[in-house]
């Protein structure tokens, strides 16, 4: 399996003489370079957790010196092979099975063969179930130390409990009470034990008799840092530091502190590393850890092992996955379903339930399925001994009463081979339904170091591919040379962080919608030119020496567009004259103005074959007044700008295929930018922003609505979109932008440093204008007007209700219809007759807080019109102004409290190939010197509800204001769960129903242990299982068809609590002498409005709630021994409670999708478990 230790792999105090740091072009990309400022011992300068209190520091130092003289345990080449393997897992082309003992014992060296056989067998089962190669990683040959919660613990003694130092694993002390003092000699003994284990593994792999489907890499928790430091070696081949104690090291939830010693140690070694993430981890924590441990974003470098528990993983993991996707970290995701699901038996022993582990795996897979990410595999604690430490399993299942019988672990409970096999097989089956990537013929079904080496070589070739160049000359006699080269993903995040202080921008989309939106990002820093405009004045400024080279071309291009007020080597100022010609309405977009100058500039730089070079930036709201003049009432500040555009000469372009860096050099005559630095001045925003202006007064917006309604009545307006402003502090625009992208993904995500101390940062949901060119060279214009808004629900079911209400709303339909009719009118001005089409009508788009209805409109531009004509004719979208447009803009000017500046304008790019892409400046913070202004509006019609429209503006601002203020996002309330210490034992009787397993899952979510058996079981089964609660499931037919009445006799004789669902309620009624008859019309898959009258079963629910009904029969004569606690609106019995016996029942289905309102189903299950417990 493994090659011999590399001869040049030695422990050096520092890099060898003459060492030179590698550059971008000659660095092997899968090798992590030496980290500046890092040495194997720099962790000692950080706070360190989970270290034993060694009684003799000199003895520890002596043990470290001895370890320094010993050979490495693993080689860098093996570690690199594992990195390559994990990169395949991260991409969905392979899986991981990481397994082994909780705390490896020195005495287990002799059992290495059996332990390796178990891990390899589990990997083989996973590979067989999924058809994917499996990377096999053992928790062995070093998993000797263990983190502990307390430095001491109590153990039995001859005279009562003794307090002794905690057992921290064999690398520190022994489990026997008299051997608990930390012993530094064990560090050296651990090395020798690991050496023996690895020797046995290597011999086993080399044996011709072995039939292992995979070879085993080794791993352990990097807990004892003196041990790890002593085995850190410098590899001369890759010029990087490696831990040679194991192929993969991980740190746990207790040691992952960002500025603590364990993270400091892991960040400097080139091994693949992993971090365990518990339920206290946030998405921001994960991003920060990834940036610290994997700043180069190297595939296979970082694995995230989630151990959040079955109750938490479904809630916490999706946000983390989304954060990783946005941050561009190619992490490998692994599920540890054991650690966070530990419970305690009545006898005081730790245990874990297999059903709960499977529930966590299922939730983990569901989170990845929802995010479109790749689930990587499992991390398990297993033993080859037939222990009874965990509960569950099919063959010879262990229950809690048996846990003590063969509990051998010195620390945490482990799965026995049968339980581990069942967990792996169940996971494999679920993974098969999840897989995004099919195995290819070139992917062999093995995962050894030799197998993965070619993948490492291929990936290095991809990332260091030779740059390609292309040169052309523009109509303005400008020669442009473009160089394109693949580049690491982290480059865009570095650009983003630098935008706090340097001019530039990032544009992108996190939304994938076929035919409309795709995922992409483009970013740049230090543009060479800046173009600004205010009213009829345009300024062009060179931001560096490279811009100075271009200024003569710009001057030549603009000279015919207006009067040059001033020129210098770095700037020029142009006065654009007022138009003195009368043009037809169809030609209005050609009136002299700022856009005439922009059109001349675009022509000078024309590049038909380049899809990215152009002018990037922001277009202010006041630009519309050059197209549609109005009477200005609001004073504009001295620094007011209508337009800020940048000409970047270095672009980072990212899509699903990867990231490409494009560099442009310009030659004007004998002058060239080649060799000149790509730099710019930096400006730091104020550390303390100005005092916040007061928020809008309650009812102020509603007052504007009422004023607008008066104008609607007299016919001055059809619709209008006034806005109001909210304020917050913002000291880092890039941090705000990054968090906002995670919280509120959108098709137009933007961050621009507009110079000085002004930023725009936001996530806009709406396209403004997009112009593309078809295969025949014709230009097409697209828009996607949004109107019609409703708040997101608490869950998918409530989302569905809100969507239905939105689509059924005549008012919202009218809003969007008017917007689209105005939009079609804008296009008709410049498009071919008959080409304006509705591609999508009232389509739903969902965002983090809101649901919108959207139309998609397209038209083909008539010959003689260009992208700027399309941009101008839509200025500005009716969705941010109103109709008629000019009257609406005048109303806005007259009734808003301050100029809009950038709000309601657009951000985007005017490309030199004649196309453009732009989004409306919505859901965007205008940040000036640390003060963020968030402006939001609503579309008003004659039938608007003033108070509802004001609330809508507040909802629209919610995601931005929460992100600015640091408030946690509004989270969905968790279903109520059982909190009692001892889980209830539930026997679920299955009456051949199609919903029984969902019902069982609800009980398990509430903490119960559920056994499901088909109806007709022998009465003795009730005595054998001794359940705390018997549940009678729904089912077809009548109660007598399933022997329900006889079963209720047996339950009554034993005094067992019972709960009936649907058929179960009917059985209880008939058993007590009541009558069940058919409904006039069956209620199958129908929601019912349930009214609560009394009782404890439905405690905590509102007086009325919605529940799912699946029944043809109902109870009409309920015996007096039962109290009717709920009915439908037409009097059908929906819940009963026995007045004296522990019997309860519901006619509806608590597990139904239709019973999620107010989490009613979960609440009922929690209530019934509580009632069953207290009844005993």
The domain that holds 1016 is classified in CATH as: 3.40.50.880
What's the pLDDT at 411? 85
990 closest CA partner among 1044, 1041, 1033: 1033
pLDDT tops 60 at residue 16: no
- If you average pLDDT over residues 154-179, what whole number do you get? 88
The answer to whether 1024 is a known catalytic residue is no
- If you average pLDDT over residues 292-296, what whole number do you get? 89
Lowest mean pLDDT among 48-57, 153-162, 275-284: 153-162
Clarify whether residues 821 and 918 are in a common domain. Answer: yes
H/E run at residue 491: helix 490-498
pLDDT tops 70 at residue 183: yes
Pair of tokens at residue 215: 């070879």
pLDDT tops 80 at residue 268: yes
- DSSP-assigned letter for residue 353: B
**Do the domain assignments include residue 995?**
yes
**Do the domain assignments include residue 1058?**
yes
Query: Contact 1041/1095 with Cβ under 8 angstroms?
Result: no
Clarify whether residues 719 and 648 are in a common domain. Answer: no
* Reported confidence tier of residue 26, pLDDT bands at 50, 70, 90: very low
- If you average pLDDT over residues 1069-1098, what whole number do you get? 95
Please give the distance of CA 607 from its chain centroid, rounded to a whole number.
Answer: 38
Clarify whether residues 920 and 1069 are in a common domain. Answer: no
* Reported confidence tier of residue 469, pLDDT bands at 50, 70, 90: confident
* Reported confidence tier of residue 2, pLDDT bands at 50, 70, 90: very low
Token pair 């012993």 is found at: 183
Which string of DSSP letters, residue by residue, matches 1043-1095?
THHHHHHHHHHHT--EEEETHHHHHHHHHTT-EEEEEEEEEEEEEEEEEE-S-
Query: Of the residues 2, 1149, 1159, 1162, which is catalytic?
Result: 1149
Clarify whether residues 958 and 991 are in a common domain. Answer: no
pLDDT tops 80 at residue 1062: yes
Distance (Å, rounded) from C-alpha 961 to C-alpha 956?
Answer: 9
Clarify whether residues 305 and 376 are in a common domain. Answer: yes
Final residue of a domain: which of 430, 455, 490?
A: 430
What's the pLDDT at 566? 86
Pair of tokens at residue 410: 């010195």
1048 closest CA partner among 1008, 994, 989: 989
Pair of tokens at residue 50: 């989970």
Distance (Å, rounded) from C-alpha 119 to C-alpha 137?
Answer: 8
Query: Contact 948/701 with Cβ under 8 angstroms?
Result: no
Query: Of the residues 31, 329, 1062, 1071, which is catalytic?
Result: 1062
CATH code of the domain in which 421 resides: 3.20.20.70
Query: Contact 857/827 with Cβ under 8 angstroms?
Result: yes
**Do the domain assignments include residue 975?**
no
The answer to whether 1121 is a known catalytic residue is no
Instruction: Give residue-wise pLDDT tens across range 390-437.
Output: 999 875 689 898 999 999 888 899 999 999 999 999 999 888 755 444
Clarify whether residues 247 and 320 are in a common domain. Answer: yes
Which string of DSSP letters, residue by residue, matches 922-977?
-SEEEEETTEEEEEEE--B-TT--HHHHHHHHHHHHHHHHHHHHTPPPP-PPPPP-
Domain carrying residue 1097: 984-1175
Which string of DSSP letters, residue by residue, matches 265-291?
HHHH--S-EEEEE-TT--HHHHHHHHH
Query: Contact 953/944 with Cβ under 8 angstroms?
Result: no
- Could you give the percent of the chain with pLDDT greater than 70? 91
What's the pLDDT at 989? 97
pLDDT tops 50 at residue 311: yes
H/E run at residue 498: helix 490-498
Final residue of a domain: which of 936, 965, 994?
A: 965
pTM for the full predicted model: 0.58
- Angle subtended by helix axes 545-558 and 594-604, to nearest 10: 110
Lowest mean pLDDT among 372-376, 536-540, 579-583, 885-889: 579-583
**Do the domain assignments include residue 585?**
yes
Clarify whether residues 952 and 1056 are in a common domain. Answer: no
**Do the domain assignments include residue 459?**
no
Clarify whether residues 781 and 830 are in a common domain. Answer: yes
819 closest CA partner among 778, 783, 859, 775: 783
What does pLDDT average to over the chain?
88
Clarify whether residues 483 and 375 are in a common domain. Answer: no
- If you average pLDDT over residues 272-290, what whole number do you get? 95
* Reported confidence tier of residue 900, pLDDT bands at 50, 70, 90: very high
Final residue of a domain: which of 430, 459, 488?
A: 430
**Do the domain assignments include residue 503?**
yes
Report how far apart the first and last C-alpha atoms of the chain are (Å, whole number).
60
Clarify whether residues 361 and 474 are in a common domain. Answer: no
What's the pLDDT at 18? 32
Clarify whether residues 309 and 397 are in a common domain. Answer: yes
- If you average pLDDT over residues 1005-1023, what whole number do you get? 94
Clarify whether residues 991 and 1128 are in a common domain. Answer: yes
The answer to whether 895 is a known catalytic residue is no
1146-1158 burial by CB neighbour count: b if 16+ within 10 A, else e? Answer: bbbbbbbebbbbb
∠ Cα 1150 1152 1157 (to 5°): 75
What's the pLDDT at 207? 59
What's the pLDDT at 818? 87
Distance (Å, rounded) from C-alpha 1159 to C-alpha 261?
Answer: 44
H/E run at residue 153: strand 152-155
373-401 burial by CB neighbour count: b if 16+ within 10 A, else e? Answer: bbbbbbbbbbbbbebbbbbbbeeeebbbe
Query: Of the residues 950, 1151, 1159, 1162, which is catalytic?
Result: 1151
**Do the domain assignments include residue 473?**
yes
Distance (Å, rounded) from C-alpha 749 to C-alpha 924?
Answer: 9
Domain total of the chain: 4
* Reported confidence tier of residue 467, pLDDT bands at 50, 70, 90: low
pLDDT tops 60 at residue 1162: yes
pLDDT tops 90 at residue 709: yes
pLDDT tops 70 at residue 15: no
Instruction: Give residue-wise pLDDT tens across range 120-134.
Output: 999 999 998 888 999
CATH code of the domain in which 504 resides: 3.60.120.10
Burial of 570 (0-12, 13-18, 19+ CB in 10 A): middle
pLDDT tops 80 at residue 14: no
Burial of 7 (0-12, 13-18, 19+ CB in 10 A): exposed
* Reported confidence tier of residue 210, pLDDT bands at 50, 70, 90: very low
Sign of the dihedral through C-alpha 1022, 1025, 1027, 1030? negative
- If you average pLDDT over residues 534-555, what whole number do you get? 94
**Do the domain assignments include residue 381?**
yes
pLDDT tops 80 at residue 7: no
What's the pLDDT at 34? 58
Q: In 3-state terms, what secondary structure has residue 848?
A: coil
């Amino acid at each position: 399996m493994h090659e011999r230790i590399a001869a040049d792999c030695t422990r050096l105090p520092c890099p060898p003489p003459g060492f030179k740091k590698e550059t971008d072009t000659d660095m092997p990309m899968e090798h992590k370079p030496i980290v500046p400022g890092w040495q194997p011992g720099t962790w000692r300068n950080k706070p360190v957790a989970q270290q034993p209190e060694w009684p003799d520091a000199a003895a520890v130092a002596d043990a470290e010196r001895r370890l320094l003289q010993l050979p490495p345990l693993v080689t860098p080449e093996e570690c690199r092979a594992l990195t390559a393997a994990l990169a395949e897992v991260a991409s969905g082309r392979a899986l991981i099975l990481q397994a082994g003992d909780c705390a490896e014992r020195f005495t287990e060296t002799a059992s290495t063969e059996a332990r390796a056989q178990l891990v390899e067998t589990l990997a083989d089962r996973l590979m067989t179930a999924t058809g994917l190669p499996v990377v096999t990683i053992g928790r062995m040959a070093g998993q000797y130390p263990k983190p502990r919660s307390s430095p001491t613990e109590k153990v039995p003694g001859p005279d009562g409990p003794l307090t002794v130092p905690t057992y921290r694993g064999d690398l520190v002390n022994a489990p026997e009470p008299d051997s608990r003092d930390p012993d530094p000699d064990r560090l050296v003994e651990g090395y020798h034990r690991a050496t023996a284990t690895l020797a046995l593994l290597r011999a086993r792999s080399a044996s011709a008799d072995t039939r292992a489907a995979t070879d085993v890499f080794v791993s352990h928790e990097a807990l004892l840092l003196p041990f790890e430091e002593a085995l850190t070696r410098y590899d001369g081949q890759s010029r990087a530091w490696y831990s040679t104690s194991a192929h993969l090291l991980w740190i746990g939830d207790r040691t992952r502190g960002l500025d603590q010693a364990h993270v400091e140690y892991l960040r400097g070694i080139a091994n693949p590393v992993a971090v365990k993430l518990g339920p206290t981890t946030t998405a921001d924590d994960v991003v920060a850890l990834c940036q610290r441990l994997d700043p180069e974003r190297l595939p296979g470098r970082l694995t995230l092992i989630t151990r959040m528990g079955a109750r938490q993983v479904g809630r916490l993991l999706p946000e983390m996955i989304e954060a990783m996707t946005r941050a561009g970290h190619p992490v490998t995701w692994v599920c540890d379903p054991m650690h966070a699901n530990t419970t305690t038996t009545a006898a005081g022993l730790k245990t874990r339930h297999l059903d709960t582990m499977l529930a966590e795996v299922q939730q983990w897979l569901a989170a990845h399925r929802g995010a479109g990410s790749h689930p990587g595999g499992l991390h398990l604690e297993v033993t080859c001994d037939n222990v009874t430490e965990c509960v569950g399993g099919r063959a010879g299942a262990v229950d809690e009463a048996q846990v003590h019988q063969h509990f051998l672990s010195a620390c945490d409970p482990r799965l026995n081979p049968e339980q581990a096999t069942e967990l792996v097989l169940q996971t494999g089956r679920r993974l098969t339904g999840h897989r995004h990537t099919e195995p290819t013929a070139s992917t062999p079904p093995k995962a050894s170091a030799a197998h993965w080496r070619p993948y490492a070589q291929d990936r290095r070739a991809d990332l260091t591919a030779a740059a390609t160049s292309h040169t052309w000359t523009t109509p303005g006699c400008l020669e442009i040379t473009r160089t394109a080269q693949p580049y690491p993903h982290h480059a865009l995040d570095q650009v983003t962080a630098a935008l706090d202080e340097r001019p530039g921008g990032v544009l992108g989309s996190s939304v994938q919608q076929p035919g409309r939106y795709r995922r992409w990002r483009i970013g740049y820093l230090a543009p060479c030119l800046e173009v600004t405009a205010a009213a009829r004045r345009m300024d062009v400024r060179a931001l560096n020496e490279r811009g100075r080279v271009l200024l003569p071309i710009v001057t030549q291009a603009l000279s015919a567009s207006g009067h040059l007020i001033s020129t210098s080597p770095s700037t020029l100022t142009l006065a654009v004259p007022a138009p003195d010609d009368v043009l037809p309405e169809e030609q209005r977009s050609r009136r002299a103005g700022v856009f005439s100058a922009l059109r001349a500039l675009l022509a000078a730089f024309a590049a038909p074959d380049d899809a990215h070079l152009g002018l990037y930036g922001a277009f202010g709201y006041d630009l519309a007044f050059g197209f549609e003049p109005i009477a200005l009432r609001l004073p504009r500040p001295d620094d007011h700008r209508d337009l800020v555009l940048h000409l970047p000469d270095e672009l980072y372009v990212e899509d699903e295929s990867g990231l490409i860096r494009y560099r442009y050099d310009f030659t004007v005559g004998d002058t060239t930018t080649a060799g000149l630095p790509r730099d710019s001045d930096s400006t730091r925003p104020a550390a303390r922003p100005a005092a916040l202006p007061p928020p809008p007064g309650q009812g102020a917006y509603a007052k504007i609505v009422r004023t607008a309604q008066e104008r609607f009545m007299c016919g001055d307006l059809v619709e209008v979109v006034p806005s109001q402003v909210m304020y917050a502090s913002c000291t880092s625009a890039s941090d705000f932008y990054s968090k906002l992208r995670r919280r509120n993904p959108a098709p137009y995500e933007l961050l621009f440093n507009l110079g000085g101390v002004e930023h725009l940062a936001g996530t806009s949901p709406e396209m403004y204008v997009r112009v593309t060119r078809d295969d025949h060279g014709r230009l097409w214009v697209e828009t996607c007007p949004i109107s019609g808004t409703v708040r997101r629900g608490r869950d998918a079911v409530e989302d569905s209700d809100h969507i239905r209400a939105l689509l059924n709303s005549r008012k919202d339909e009218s809003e969007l219809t008017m917007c689209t009719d105005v939009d079609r009118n804008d296009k008709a001005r410049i498009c071919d007759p008959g080409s304006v089409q509705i591609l999508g009508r009232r389509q739903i788009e969902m965002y983090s807080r809101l649901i919108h209805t959207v139309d998609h409109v397209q038209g083909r531009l008539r010959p003689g019109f260009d992208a700027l004509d399309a941009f101008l004719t839509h200025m500005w979208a009716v969705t941010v102004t109103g109709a008629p447009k000019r009257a609406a803009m005048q109303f806005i000017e007259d009734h808003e409290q301050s100029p809009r500046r950038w709000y309601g304008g657009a951000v985007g790019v005017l490309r030199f190939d004649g196309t453009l892409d732009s989004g409306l400046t919505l859901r965007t913070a205008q940040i000036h010197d640390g003060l963020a202004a968030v402006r939001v509006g609503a579309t008003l019609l004659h039938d608007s509800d003033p108070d509802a429209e004001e609330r809508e503006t507040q909802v629209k601002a919610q995601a931005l204001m929460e992100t600015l203020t640091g408030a946690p996002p509004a989270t969905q309330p968790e279903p109520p769960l059982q909190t009692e210490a001892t889980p209830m034992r539930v026997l679920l009787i299955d009456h051949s129903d199609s919903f029984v397993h969902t019902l069982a899952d609800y009980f398990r979510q509430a903490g119960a242990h559920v056994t499901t058996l088909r109806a007709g079981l022998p009465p003795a089964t009730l005595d054998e299982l001794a359940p705390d609660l018997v549940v009678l499931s729904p089912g077809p037919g009548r109660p007598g068809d399933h022997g329900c009445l006889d079963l209720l006799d047996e339950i009554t004789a034993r005094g067992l609590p019972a709960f009936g669902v649907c058929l179960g309620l009917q059985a209880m009624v008939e058993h007590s002498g009541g009558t069940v008859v058919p409904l006039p019309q069956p209620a199958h898959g129908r929601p019912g409005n349930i009214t609560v009258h009394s009782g404890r079963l439905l405690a905590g629910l509102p007086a009325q709630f919605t529940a799912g009904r699946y029944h043809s029969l109902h109870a009409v004569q309920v015996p007096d021994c039962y109290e009717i606690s709920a009915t439908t609106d037409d009097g059908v019995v929906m819940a009963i409670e026995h007045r004296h016996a522990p019997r309860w029942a519901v006619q509806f289905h608590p597990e139904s999708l239709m019973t999620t309102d107010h989490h009613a189903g979960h609440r009922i299950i929690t209530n019934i478990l509580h009632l069953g417990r207290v009844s005993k």
